[in-house]
Amino acid sequence: MQKLSLSNHKQQELIESLELFESWLEGREGKEMRTSVLKDRGLSPYAIAPLGRLIEKSENDIQGEDPSSIHGQSKVVIVSVDPEHASFQEMIEQVEEYSRVVEEMVFFLPSYHLPSHLQNRPWFSNFKIIDYRTDQEQVFVRFEKQEGDLSGIKESNLQIWLHLVETILEGALRKQDSVSVAQSMDESLDTLLEKENFKKLVEYRFELQEQKGVIQSLNKKIKKLNTQNAALQKRSNDLKKRISHFQNDNSARYLIGSAFIEAMKSPVKMIMLPKRLFGIYRRAKSGSLYVNRTKTSKSDKVASSTPVPAQMSPIDTGKEAILFVPTNGAGLGHLTRLLAIARRVKKQDPDKEIIFHTTSSAMHLILQEGFLGYHLPSKMLFPEETTARQWNTLLQDQLDQAIDLHMPKTIVFDGAYPYAGLVSSMDKTDGMDKVWVRRGQHKDGITDRIKEREDNFDRIMVPGEAGKEAAEEPAADQKIIDCEPVIYMDKDELYDRKTVRQLWNVSDDKKIVYIQLGAGNINDIDSTIGRLVSALKERDDVFIVIGESIIGKRLNITEEGVMTLRDYPNSMYFNGFDLAITATGYNTFHELMYFGVPSIFVPNENTKTDDQVARANIAGDAGAAVVLRDPNRDDFVEAINHVLDEENNKRMKEASQSLITSNGADQIARHILEMSRVNA
């Protein structure tokens, strides 16, 4: 790692103090030197925390003093650890206390004892790393408290922290590799010397060099073929555009020929022929000739005076692209499912290029996965005067440009009903596999209308419902394929129960109850969430966590023993929950069952298409949940006591995990990649 230079005189003094601090630890100078030197530099002895615990805090050896008492006396806490004599957990807890009263914290740690969960501490988001270095043996990190806008501090700290960890690991691996290589070389040379077989070694090296040459030649040919393929794709696109242009009756040649034919049929048009030809010439010269001339409203005629921009050439990445198109307005369900599938596609085939085009406002979730994304706001966010035709035209234009730029081999849509703009854009593109991820469990009367759009797709992937029998392996030409429920995270990605409790400082005698019922006021005793919180507070052994959407309005909750969780995905904390009380939207329901969280379900019965009551009853019938419809306070009290009973809780956890055996995201990703290979 590049050693960072000190930025100012204050940092130089701090490093000098650290060096003197090391000398004191080694016993060369003694306590008097330590006290006087630190006081000269404005650093009180209160500020030192060596060996994972606070040492003597003053010349009088005062012990056990509250960290808050150092306020005004010290601005810096120095943390040094001897792992042979210190408890790392004790040190972290003491730092937690000091973070409330100091302005700077300096860590002086052995590199092999770098804490792995330091980034989960609350102060990690308001103390910024301003200096750091490592020499593979020791790590120096300096934090400075920040005021005002704290956004971005945690992300910046995480990048530096990961960089430190990666640097230390790389150094360790290099040492290990060098030892392994040296040992391997010694053994090989000994063998060759014993057998006097140097000739074979030379022949092997020549053969290896020859194979390398063959590989380089093949790589050049592959690169050349890729270039030729890209050129052919571009030419094909150009021809398609020209064909479309002629089909729209917009070419000068077509219009001139049409003018002559009509003039031959009509004496009046023959007289007007010169004027008409001159008009075609003027329009062709100005560029306005090449606009779609479909007759529509007056406003469309005004818009048609704008020339069509020149076509962009495709971006040549040398990779096959897949375009994912989730549609979301107020929620995250469709986006979450396609992100889950895209993550598995990338895992199964890292060479695939993943592109997103979405109407969801949570674009940052796409970008944080490392995927490229395009965004058009949902129609509900446009002025109410915006017509469906105007919005669909915008959607089609954006999709056309994204397809022309990236030339995707496959387009994957997730939504309740394909928009007209999406269908129009797909119809213009030949040779592209079209997949619709369309979940089931619709209300009566909805299915027939949805089936009308199936003809626009080559394959329909149907994420199933918990508790249904696993579908048989589909035939090669089967259009509609049933899959297991789609889950965003894998089980090994979740925090364990102990970590969740440490993050939120919840004692072991408390039961953590998670609530996610949408909008509501917990102070309104007549609202569902108000009745629920009131029922929970009858018990003194619960810690309440209320989940809120990262794209929704923040909940104004200040009650003691109640915290809000605004993260993505909230399922990363599910191992820590003893009970969940939620509606039965597709993603939340199946995540709770997949990760084994005993639940009370209050289905939302006012959805347009989703049958949440039927879904909730699947878990209720299996003994994995209690289902309540329009519950009162007494209903909540009875259900909560039932689920939090130790024996009932254990049985419900086992029952919920038995409802889902595998993650449908892996299945759908595999089918998409197989389609791509078959149709290549």
Beta-bridge partner residues of 357: 374
User: How far apart, in whole angstroms, are the C-alpha atoms of residue 418 and residue 327?
Assistant: 9
Asked if the model's pLDDT at residue 292 lies above 60, the reply is no
Best-predicted range by mean pLDDT (92-96, 152-156, 472-476): 152-156
Asked if the model's pLDDT at residue 513 lies above 90, the reply is yes
pLDDT reported for residue 146: 86
pLDDT reported for residue 36: 46
Reference 430, options 417, 402, 455, 411; nearest CA is 411
pTM score, two decimals?
Answer: 0.55
Helices (H), 83-152: 88-98
Which residue do the tokens 């529509």 mark? 296
In 3-state terms, what secondary structure has residue 676? helix
Reference 313, options 410, 404, 428, 429; nearest CA is 404
Asked if the model's pLDDT at residue 237 lies above 50, the reply is yes
Strands (DSSP E) along 492-629, which ranges?
511-516, 542-547, 562-565, 579-582, 599-601, 625-627
Range with the lowest mean pLDDT among 142-146, 416-420, 430-434, 442-446? Answer: 442-446
Q: Which positions ≥6 away from 487 have C-beta within 8 Å? A: 340, 590, 591, 594, 660, 663, 664, 665
pLDDT reported for residue 441: 58
Distances (CA, A) of 127 to 119, 147, 156, 298: 11, 9, 11, 60
In one-letter notation, the amino acid at residue 346 is K
Question: Residue 88 is encoded by which pair of tokens?
Answer: 């790392």
Sign of CA dihedral 411, 415, 416, 421: negative
Pairing of strands 138-145, 104-110: antiparallel
Asked if the model's pLDDT at residue 278 lies above 50, the reply is yes
Question: Residue 297 is encoded by which pair of tokens?
Answer: 């409203």
DSSP 281-295: HHHHHHTGGGS----
pLDDT band at 353 (very low <50, low <70, confident <90, very high): very high
Beta-bridge partner residues of 141: 107, 132
Interaxial angle between packed helices 646-657 and 586-594, expressed in degrees from 0 to 180 and rounded to the nearest 10: 110
Q: How much of the chain is helix, strand and coil, in % rounded to 5?
A: 50, 15, 35
Reference 325, options 412, 443, 436, 219; nearest CA is 412
Percent of the chain whose pLDDT exceeds 90? 26
Distances (CA, A) of 368 to 151, 155, 334, 344, 653: 16, 11, 17, 15, 32
Give the H or E element holding residue 77. Answer: strand 76-80
Q: What's the half-sphere exposure (Cβ side, CA atoms, 13 Å) at 357?
A: 24
User: How far apart, in whole angstroms, are the C-alpha atoms of residue 129 and residue 234?
Assistant: 48
Q: Which positions ≥6 away from 46 have C-beta within 8 Å? A: 57, 58, 65, 69, 70, 73, 74
Asked if the model's pLDDT at residue 421 lies above 80, the reply is yes
User: How far apart, in whole angstroms, are the C-alpha atoms of residue 263 and residue 269?
Assistant: 5
User: How far apart, in whole angstroms, are the C-alpha atoms of residue 543 and residue 240?
Assistant: 62
**Residue 648 and residue 626 in contact, taking contact as beta carbons nearer than 8 Å:** no
Q: What is the 3-state secondary structure (H, E, C) of 602-622?
A: CCCCCCCCECHHHHHHHHHHC
In 3-state terms, what secondary structure has residue 357? strand
What confidence tens digit (pLDDT) does each residue in 458-471 have?
899 999 888 777 66
pLDDT reported for residue 7: 40
**Residue 233 and residue 407 in contact, taking contact as beta carbons nearer than 8 Å:** yes
pLDDT reported for residue 75: 64
Structure-model confidence comparison of residues 245 and 30, the more confident one: 245
Q: Please, what is the average pLDDT of the chain?
A: 75
Range with the lowest mean pLDDT among 65-79, 406-420, 441-455, 587-601? Answer: 65-79
What confidence tens digit (pLDDT) does each residue in 121-159 have?
777 788 888 888 776 667 778 888 888 777 788 888 888
Distances (CA, A) of 672 to 342, 348, 411, 664, 668: 10, 11, 10, 12, 6
Range with the lowest mean pLDDT among 247-256, 273-282, 408-417, 525-534? Answer: 247-256
Percent of the chain whose pLDDT exceeds 70? 67
DSSP class of residue 485 equals P
User: How far apart, in whole angstroms, are the C-alpha atoms of residue 580 and residue 517?
Assistant: 10
* For residues 209-233, average pLDDT: 78
Q: What's the half-sphere exposure (Cβ side, CA atoms, 13 Å) at 598?
A: 22
pLDDT band at 283 (very low <50, low <70, confident <90, very high): confident
Structure-model confidence comparison of residues 466 and 214, the more confident one: 466
Q: Which positions ≥6 away from 540 have C-beta within 8 Å? A: none
pLDDT reported for residue 314: 83
pLDDT reported for residue 179: 55
What confidence tens digit (pLDDT) does each residue in 525-538 have?
457 787 888 888 88
Structural domains of the chain sorted by starting position, each given as residue range(s) with its CATH number in brackets: 9-170 (3.40.50), 248-303 (no CATH), 321-487+668-678 (3.40.50.2000), 491-657 (3.40.50.2000)
Structure-model confidence comparison of residues 527 and 302, the more confident one: 527
* For residues 278-301, average pLDDT: 56
pLDDT reported for residue 148: 79
Asked if the model's pLDDT at residue 279 lies above 70, the reply is yes
Helices (H), 385-496: 388-406, 420-427, 447-451
User: How far apart, in whole angstroms, are the C-alpha atoms of residue 507 and residue 447?
Assistant: 49
Question: Residue 311 is encoded by which pair of tokens?
Answer: 């076509």
**Residue 584 and residue 615 in contact, taking contact as beta carbons nearer than 8 Å:** yes
